[in-house]
Amino acid sequence: MRKALVTISLLVATLAIQAQEVPQVANILARHAQSLNGAWNYLVDVQEEGYYDYRMRPTKWGFFRNAKPQKPEDLIEYDFDLAPTMQVPGDWNTQDDRLFFYEGTVWLKRSFDYRPQDGCRALLYFGAVNYDAHVYVNGHHVGHHEGGFTPFNYDVTSQLHAGENTLIVKVDNKRHASAVPTQIFDWWNYGGITRDVLLVSLGETYIENYTLRLASLEGRRLAFSVKLNRPEAGRKVTLRIPELKIEKTVVTDAAGTATLTMKGKPQLWSPQNPKLYDVEISMGEETLTDRIGFRLIETRGKQLLLNGEPIFLKGISIHEEKPYGGGRANSTADAHTLLSWAKELGCNFVRLAHYPHNEYAVREAERMGLLVWSEIPVYWTIDWTNPATLENARRQLTDMIARDHNRANVIIWSIANETPHSPERDAFLGNLARLAKQLDDSRLVSMAMEVTSASNFKNRLQDNMHEYVDVVSFNQYIGWYRDVNDAPKMEWEIPYNKPVIISEFGGGAKYGLHGAKNQRWTEEFQENLYRENTAMLDKIDGLAGTTPWILKDFRSPRRVLVGIQDYYNRKGLFSDNGEKKKAFYVLKEWYSKK
């Protein structure tokens, strides 16, 4: 037995030849890339027999080998080429009726042609895989990634060869108490390779990341920094912004970094004028293009300031689900439809809950003039004392910021939602708040808190995290989890000299169900709830914005009421088929007066 375990361990080590995960490459959409999207063969592996043997040890006969019989008597009990296909990006829940509720392992396989280029590296990029991914190229294990909503990439130059290559991904969306999010959450656990897969061609030395932003309102000076993938001094990097007549060259230091501040005087990005500038960043033969806006977000007492002027955030919360029916949204077209509904509502702000959304969604919101709250899925009851859980959350926060830190519309990094108070939780979230500021001090940090102190009709927000956040945000559901008639009598005390965002309020209604305003699930009930809540919120001192819950109905396995919920959370202002409920018009009218 010991000899067998040693043999298997050596096999696994051999299969991981020269595998290397590299830091996230910024602005992936501007890189030279081969899309690996499309039809992938898949095998459902309920007991993970493609990964473990019957003693739960890693097996040398794993599905990652993509083995074929060499002789008539060979026994191989799987064949990807005979398996059905599903579309990538996509979730398996809505592509195979048998997998609607499935949580477990599915193997996905794609073959592709590759032509090596002299002096180039090949990076394999995944926009997101939910939740746990083992990646194999030509039978070699190139990496393992945990987290369902952030991008990752591997240098696979050594694993590829000229001609046909095979990519196999073991995807596992089982929930775990130590994961982020944890075992219980109120949205559908869509499994699969849910965002783009790209094979990116890069030079031996390339631009790994860069930052271009407004440094100050005074003089409208711009700040630029760049980081190469490796420490290399003396490399010239040129920044061009033709419309501003800017062309500047910087030289990297020994760490492979360079910084610059310059005069610019750009038009400032705002919801009323979402101005974006064409930008070119080049080094040698590599040229990256981007469209970047310039703005300044800050607070002054209980005011929220955009470009030095007070702003009220007329927002709505959104899940990353397709506009019609269910399924994970994964395209610009999906994002445009959802964001157009938000614009029709009168919004200038969206809360992309409860995890980082697709890069297409963030960019489309920027183009359309919608400010963004972006969040990591530290949701409800996290394993606060587990170092691995904290590291997972830190990694997701880091990757979210690395991808979207050049987007002018992203103004808030959110580190959590509805977490129960405890010293362990405070330490965990304090760590994340400090990390967010360390990585990006040009934006605000917040989180969706809970109201825990209530006496009759007086609510006092108390949360130790007020020391760490720039904006105090909290969720409240008076009228849904507390009688709707309580709203007119409610008094709120927010004892912090910071802007306040009500990050959630609302209630459920099934589209087309009508009745008295005190009858649950009717549109009239939800309509009245919104009337009472908006009047109540107007009385809160320092109210700087709201993001009611939620734009549209979305799937959730926790919502089981037959004939009403049918596995949908019905708090949407739009139905799952895009129909407006009566509460939509109440919120639209309220926002029109703000």
Per-residue pLDDT of 8-30, as tens digits, reads 333 333 344 455 678 999 999 99
Q: Cis before residue 181, ω within 30 degrees of 0? A: yes
- 1 pLDDT more than 80: no
Tallying the residues shown for the chain, one arrives at 594
Please give the Cα distance from 470 to 498 (Å, whole number).
Answer: 7
- 454 pLDDT more than 80: no
Instruction: Quickly state the pLDDT bin for 455 (edges 50, 70, 90).
Output: low
Any idea what DSSP says for residue 291? E
Instruction: Quickly state the pLDDT bin for 488 (edges 50, 70, 90).
Output: confident
- 2 pLDDT more than 50: no
Instruction: Quickly state the pLDDT bin for 486 (edges 50, 70, 90).
Output: confident
Per-residue confidence (pLDDT) for residue 58, from 0 to 100: 87
Dihedral of the CA atoms 474, 475, 478, 480 (nearest 10)? 180
User: Per-residue pLDDT averaged across 504-529, rounded?
Assistant: 97
- 168 pLDDT more than 70: yes
Return the number of other C-beta atoms located less than 10 Å from residue 43's C-beta: 20
**In angstroms, what CA-CA distances link 179 with 99, 396, 458?**
22, 12, 36
Model pTM score: 0.94
User: Per-residue pLDDT averaged across 446-466, rounded?
Assistant: 83
Token pair for 341: 């509904």
- 60 pLDDT more than 90: no
Token pair for 239: 């920044």
Give the tens place of pLDDT for each residue, 320-330. 999 998 899 99
User: Per-residue pLDDT averaged across 354-376, rounded?
Assistant: 98
Give the tens place of pLDDT for each residue, 545-557. 999 999 999 999 9
Any idea what DSSP says for residue 139? T
Query: In one letter, which amino acid is 325?
Result: G
Please give the Cα distance from 111 to 106 (Å, whole number).
Answer: 17
Per-residue confidence (pLDDT) for residue 451, from 0 to 100: 79
- 500 pLDDT more than 80: yes
DSSP H/E element including 1: none
- 528 pLDDT more than 60: yes
Instruction: Quickly state the pLDDT bin for 490 (edges 50, 70, 90).
Output: confident
Residue with tokens 């170092």: 387
Q: Is the separation of the CB atoms in 242 and 211 below 8 Å?
A: no
Query: At 467, phi and psi to the nearest 5?
Result: -70, -25
Bridge partners (DSSP) listed for residue 580: 574
Query: At 193, phi and psi to the nearest 5?
Result: -90, 95
Bridge partners (DSSP) listed for residue 137: 140, 167
User: Per-residue pLDDT averaged across 378-393, rounded?
Assistant: 97
Q: Cis before residue 420, ω within 30 degrees of 0? A: no
User: Per-residue pLDDT averaged across 444-459, rounded?
Assistant: 81
Please give the Cα distance from 482 to 93 (Å, whole number).
Answer: 34
Closest Cα to residue 306, out of 411, 436, 439, 446?
Answer: 411
Please give the Cα distance from 423 to 133 (Å, whole number).
Answer: 33
Per-residue confidence (pLDDT) for residue 453, from 0 to 100: 53
Instruction: Quickly state the pLDDT bin for 215 (edges 50, 70, 90).
Output: very high
Please give the Cα distance from 583 to 594 (Å, whole number).
Answer: 17
Token pair for 117: 């280029």
| Four-residue CA torsion sign, 304, 449, 400, 557 | negative
Please give the Cα distance from 235 to 257 (Å, whole number).
Answer: 9
User: Per-residue pLDDT averaged across 530-553, rounded?
Assistant: 96
3-state secondary structure of 282: strand
Give the tens place of pLDDT for each residue, 100-154. 999 999 999 999 999 998 889 999 999 999 999 999 999 999 999 999 999 999 9
HEC letters along 12-39: HHHHCCCCEEECCCCCHHHCEEEECCEE
Pairing of strands 163-172, 132-137: antiparallel
Q: What mean pLDDT, rounded, does the chain reach?
A: 94
Give the tens place of pLDDT for each residue, 335-363. 999 999 999 999 999 999 999 999 999 99
Please give the Cα distance from 359 to 8 (Å, whole number).
Answer: 40
Please give the Cα distance from 85 to 40 (Å, whole number).
Answer: 5
User: Per-residue pLDDT averaged across 400-404, rounded?
Assistant: 98
